[in-house]
Amino acid sequence: MNIVVCVKRVPDTEVPIRIRGDGRGVEESGLNFVLNFYDEHGVEEALRTKERLGGSVTLVTAGPARAVEALRTGLAMGADAAIHIQDPALASLDHIGTARVLAAAIKAVPCDLVLCGKLSTDDNAAIVGPAVAEFLGLPQATAITKLELGDGKATAHREVEGAVEVLEVKLPAVITVERGINEPRYPSLPGIMRAKRTAITTRTLADLGISAPPPARVELLGLTPPPKRQAGRRLEGEPAAVVHDLVRALHEEAKLL
């Protein structure tokens, strides 16, 4: 089974961020960048599938030169090949535009399955996966917690409000993966060495047959820090008295009980 995995380099979520002076992004200096958490699960699922059924795992990313780090991490985990879409025009794309570009690159790779993280932890958009499916004309299953591959179809579990849904999806398909689907491996030392030597295919939009970048339909006006929450009232002392005060506060002040 040949699998393509979409990946993205994102800031480590453990590290505090500083919003840029112009409000249009975050200061990159001092930030640690990693392979998007959910994409790690995508790469892992692809590798496990390959180990079971054979085939190959190809990574694809779209972004500036430094975006290659996500590919190197995925290669070090064990992926076979990587495609880096690099073009100055990428900067002007919205998520739907990015999906169009990724789909154009994936179209050139014969594959049975496309895996994506359910979202990237920087934008939190969760748009690219289903949009890639649409542009490829493939069925989709999103936020999958368990995936079983069969003959020409996959069985996928997804959590919906208050229930777990089991879907049967015809292959090829685009599947976006949720945390819980697997436990991603760490890159091995030989893997890291091999990743350094693996040639990465680069593609411009022109290479992909896209003459003009698709116009963005949404525009980021700016980032602001979230509203600061003030610490409220401390309730300390004898437990029964504290609980009594709390319930009275929730009932009378907050009017929530």
Partner 1 sequence: MSAASDVWVIVEHAGGRPRKITYELLGLATTLAGPMKVHAVVAGGGAAAMAGDLAAHGAHVVHAAESPLLEPYTTDAHAQVVGALLADAAPGLVLMGSTAAGRDLAPRLAARLDAGIVTDCASVAVEDERVVATRPVMTRKAIARVAFGDGIRIAVVLPNIYPPAPAETGRSVEVQTVPVNLDPGSIRTRVVEISALKRETVPLTEADIIVSGGRGLKGPENFALLDKLAGVLGAAVGSSRPPVDSGWVPHDYEIGQTGKTVNPQLYIACGISGAPQHLAGMSGSRCIVAINKDPQAPIFGIATYGVVGDVFEILPLLTEEVRKLKGSSSDGGASRRLVPDGGDGGRPAAG
214-233: contacts with partner 1 (CB under 8 A): 215-227, 229, 231-233
Q: How far apart are CA 64 and CA 73, in angstroms?
A: 16
DSSP-assigned letters across all residues of 85-152:
E--GGGGG--HHHHHHHHHHHHHTS--SEEEEES--TTT----HHHHHHHHHT--EEEEEEEEEE-SS
* Segment 156 to 215, residues that bind partner 1, using CB under 8 A: 158-170, 173, 179-180, 215
Q: Which of residues 49-88 bind partner 1 (CB under 8 A)?
A: none
- Smallest gap from residue 195 Cβ to partner 1 (A): 25
**Burial class (CB within 10 angstroms; exposed 0-12, middle 13-18, buried 19+) of 84:** buried
91 binds partner 1 (CB under 8 A): no
The answer to whether 246 contacts partner 1 (rule: CB under 8 A) is yes
Binding partner 1 (rule: CB under 8 A), the pick from 140, 182, 184, 210 is 140
* Residue 244 DSSP class: H
Q: Which of 72, 42, 81, 58 is nearest to 195 (CA)?
A: 72
Q: How far apart are CA 200 and CA 74, in angstroms?
A: 12
Find the shortest distance in angstroms from Cβ 113 to partner 1: 14
**Looking at beta carbons only, is 72 or 158 nearer to partner 1?**
158
With contact defined as beta carbons under 8 Å apart, do 132 and 141 qualify?
Answer: no
Q: How far is the CB of 77 from partner 1 (least distance, A)?
A: 19
Q: How many chain residues interact with partner 1 (CB under 8 A)?
A: 83
Closer residue to partner 1, CB minimum distance, 17 or 81 = 17
Using the minimum distance from each CB to partner 1, give the nearer residue, 29 or 124: 124
Residue 45: closest CA among 154, 161, 202: 154
**96 sits near partner 1 (criterion: CB under 8 A):** yes
Which residue, 186 or 193, has its beta carbon nearer to partner 1? 186
Nearer to partner 1, 27 or 51 (CB): 27
CB of 190 to partner 1, least distance (A): 28
Residue number, 199 or 256, with CB nearest to partner 1: 256
Interface segment toward partner 1; rule CB under 8 A; list 80-88, 193-201, 204-212, 234-242: 234-242
Confirm or reject binding of residue 28 to partner 1 (CB under 8 A).
no
Least Å from the CB of residue 35 to partner 1: 14
CA atoms within 13 A on the CB side of 9: 18
